[in-house]
Structure 1
Amino acid sequence: MKENVFYGKGMKPIKEDYPDIFEAIHLLNEVAFTGKALDYKTQKLIAVAIAASNSDSRATLNQIRSAINELNISKDEIMDVLRVVLLTSGMPPFIKAVGILNRVIEE
């Protein structure tokens, strides 16, 4: 189940003021998340890993939140992804992402 809400609050002005740019971003989202070879859940977990690997707190928060809310992805599944982040990107991005995950779980 892929929801149409795929962006953060920063996209609201783009949607309102530049609908053509917003539509292009929306279409890109549809093309990227196709579920053809990998299901949407797997693609979402990859998105969590990429955001966490980049140490992007806002993107990690949004990806984890939508993974849990949209797809009912468990804390353990996200932790499996974050273990790969630890291996590939190191301790700082891992610790930051685990903190974000715990915050989302507590909400």
Structure 2
Amino acid sequence: MKNEVFFGEGIKAVKEKYPDLYEAIVKLNEAAYTGKVLDYKTQKLIAIGIVASKCDEIATEKQMISGMKELGITKEEIADVLRVVLLTSGMPAFTKAMRILEKI
């Protein structure tokens, strides 16, 4: 989500029709991804875990791909995150995310 890359399908319409709201979203993104204590890579790994735990397959795939491309996140690092997803969110969320990871 850094550098104004947003994955929600409706964000294009928000940007075009409601530029003030879009600007607020951009500022929120900048405030969330500060890197003050946790670096951006760590924050991205957390984001992957969150979307995977919600069984959001589209967001999980997009977060994984962008993390790999932007930050060099490895499949092994993502697999470590998914171990925590298994523990905290259960087998369905884990297996969906692992299937996505193997597909990438």
How far residue 57 of structure 1 moved from its aligned partner, in angstroms, is: 1.1
Report how many aligned residue pairs link the two structures: 103
CA distance in 2, matches of 1:38, 1:14: 29
Q: Percent identity?
A: 61
Q: Which secondary structure state, in structure 2, belongs to the residue aligned with residue 93 of structure 1?
A: helix
* Residues 1-107 of structure 1: pairs in structure 2 closer than 5 A: 2-104=2-104
Letter matched to residue 19 of structure 1: P
Structure 2 stretches of 5 or more lacking a match? Answer: none
CA distance in 1, matches of 2:6, 2:17: 18
Structure 1 stretches of at least 4 aligned residues deviating more than 4 Å after TM superposition: none
Letter matched to residue 22 of structure 1: Y
CA distance in 2, matches of 1:12, 1:32: 21
Equivalent residues of 1:53, 1:85 under 8 A apart: yes
CA distance in 2, matches of 1:100, 1:3: 24
Equivalent residues of 2:7, 2:59 under 8 A apart: no
The TM-score with structure 1 as length reference comes to 0.90
Structure 1 stretches of 5 or more lacking a match? Answer: none
CA-atom RMSD in angstroms? 1.2
